[in-house]
Amino acid sequence: MLYQVFNSLWDLWWSLYLITPVEEGGLGTPVTIVGILATIQNTSQILFQLPGGVIADKIGRKKVIVFGSAVRTVAPFIMYLARSWQMVVPGMIMMAVASLYGPAFNALISESIPKENRGAGFGAYRMFTSVPQIFMPIVGGYYFDMLGLGKAVRYGLLMFTVVMGLITITRHLVIKETLRNDDAEEQSMNPFNKDVIDTFKRQPRTVYAMLTVAVIGGIAMRTTWTFLTPYAINHVGLTNTQYGSLQSLAMLISVPLYMISGALADKYGRFPFILLARGLGPFDSLSLYLFKDYSQLLWAYGVIGFAGGLGGGRLRGGGYMGGPAWQALITDIVPSKDRAKVMGFMGTISGVLGLPFPTLGGWLYDRNPDLLLLAGSLLEMVSIPIILLFVRDPPKTIEPEPEIIN
């Protein structure tokens, strides 16, 4: 939760900070360069997703999580020191490198939850960690309006650095390893060995469908999401506080529904909630194109919040790799010893195929911001028939409880 609180003091407004002229407190970065910076960050992130998953399956989840957290402590301090977009690059690359612990973190959570309660467990985790997102966007917007963009981002990065240091120490002291020794001994440390490909080939058709959906969602998000905040402020005409309040409203509705959607996914299956979340995904960015009045956007973001919460977190917090129902389905169908590898492989493939699209998004935003939002929404719609045709819940089976290793 601390991560979400202090990350909200800079992350939502980062692209706006890059684009804003130097005399107004930003770094004065050309929009196309902002897209290229996002591509550089995505490239670095891709390089470490798969290795992070493979290493986590070999040496354990805890070591990878603690190392990644330590790297994420250093990165924002480098970004705090930057006074030009060129100086930002090393910090952004380090922030991306820290993503290597993502597959390990997901695997750790999945192995700590009994199978019959996985949807509810992922939902509870998403709910409690998302609580700060209810109030922090509006607090952050007010904080930015009071301090000004430049000071607010830099102070936010400095506070985030301190908090990440505390989080790293806490994770080192508290996290218990869940990977069994006999599973770890079977794994290779080479992220590009034939076993990684063979592991993915052994997975059921649903995993391939989920990979395709993740790729499509990743491309759409990488194309548009970097530019949603600048669009809302510079083209819709919202203040920082107003845009923050829209985010807070959506999360206020979503967060209590995360656990409910997870519990319902345990009872009725993962598929309906994945479909609901992905089906309403295109409306997320499209709402800023359709509605320019703040009162209309309040209603729109209320719908986004309801759909995101009931749909398992795809909107406002689930990310292109999905929410509780999505994560629970992967856990259901992928063996424990392969989970981090498969999650890392999916993240890597999604990232590789999505590499050019932040730059394309910057090019589109520079020429026609409305077209950018329309293109992203239409692209997300492509995933709906794939889910309808190919994503299926597995047959119910009994799975042994995970062994906690001290």
Residue 271 lies in a domain: yes
- Tokens 């080192």 belong to 172
Q: What is the mean pLDDT of the chain?
A: 82
Helices (H), 270-355: 271-279, 283-290, 294-310, 324-333, 339-354
Beta bridge partners of 177: 405
Per the CB < 8 A criterion, the answer to whether 18 and 29 are in contact is yes
Closest CA to 391 of 209, 129, 190, 235: 209
Q: How confident is the model at residue 127 (pLDDT cuts 50, 70, 90)?
A: confident
Task: Give how many domains the chain has, as a whole number.
Answer: 1
Q: How confident is the model at residue 190 (pLDDT cuts 50, 70, 90)?
A: low
pLDDT computed for residue 373 by the predictor: 92
Residue 397 lies in a domain: no
pLDDT in tens, 71-82: 999 999 999 999
Residue 399 lies in a domain: no
Q: How confident is the model at residue 98 (pLDDT cuts 50, 70, 90)?
A: confident
pLDDT computed for residue 157 by the predictor: 95
Kindly state the average pLDDT of the residues 285-302. 90
- The tokens describing 100, both together, are 């290597």
% helix, strand, coil for the chain, step of 5: 80, 0, 20
Q: Does the pLDDT value for residue 371 go beyond 90?
A: yes
CA distances from 243 to 70, 178, 368 (A): 32, 40, 21
Kindly state the average pLDDT of the residues 154-168. 94
Residue 280 lies in a domain: yes
Residue 331 lies in a domain: yes
Residue 182 burial by Cβ neighbours in a 10 Å radius (0-12, 13-18, 19+): exposed
Residue 188 lies in a domain: no
Q: Does the pLDDT value for residue 163 go beyond 90?
A: yes
**Percent of all residues in the chain with a pLDDT value above 90, rounded to a whole number:** 26
pLDDT computed for residue 237 by the predictor: 92
- Measured from the Cβ of residue 234, the count of other Cβ atoms closer than 10 Å reads 15
- The tokens describing 166, both together, are 């505390």
Compute the distance between CA of residue 104 and CA of residue 298 in angstroms, rounded to an integer.
Answer: 37
pLDDT in tens, 340-363: 778 777 877 877 888 888 889 999
Per the CB < 8 A criterion, the answer to whether 224 and 280 are in contact is no
pLDDT computed for residue 30 by the predictor: 92
Q: Does the pLDDT value for residue 216 go beyond 60?
A: yes
- Measured from the Cβ of residue 181, the count of other Cβ atoms closer than 10 Å reads 10
Residue span of the structural domain in which 232 resides: 2-183+193-390
pLDDT computed for residue 313 by the predictor: 44
Q: Does the pLDDT value for residue 315 go beyond 50?
A: no
Length of the chain counted residue by residue: 406
Listed as own residue / partner, the contacts of 22-26 with beta carbons closer than 8 Å and 24 or more positions apart are 24/149, 24/150, 25/148, 25/149, 25/150, 25/151, 26/149, 26/150
Beta bridge partners of 278: none
Residue 406 lies in a domain: no
pTM metric for this prediction: 0.72
Q: How confident is the model at residue 137 (pLDDT cuts 50, 70, 90)?
A: confident
pLDDT computed for residue 164 by the predictor: 94
The distance of Cα 119 from the centroid of its chain, to the nearest Å, equals 18
CA atoms within 13 A on the CB side of 154: 13
Residue 398 lies in a domain: no
pLDDT in tens, 30-45: 988 998 888 777 766 6
Compute the distance between CA of residue 199 and CA of residue 201 in angstroms, rounded to an integer.
Answer: 5
What CATH number corresponds to the domain at position 43? 1.20.1250.20
Considering only 15-29, 153-167, 170-184, 307-321, which range has the smallest mean pLDDT?
A: 307-321
- Measured from the Cβ of residue 305, the count of other Cβ atoms closer than 10 Å reads 25
pLDDT computed for residue 105 by the predictor: 83
Compute the distance between CA of residue 183 and CA of residue 56 in angstroms, rounded to an integer.
Answer: 11
Helix (H, G, I), strand (E, B), or coil: what is residue 261?
helix
Positive/negative CA dihedral, 192, 51, 357, 308: positive
pLDDT in tens, 165-185: 999 999 999 988 877 665 555
Closest CA to 321 of 281, 287, 357, 356: 281
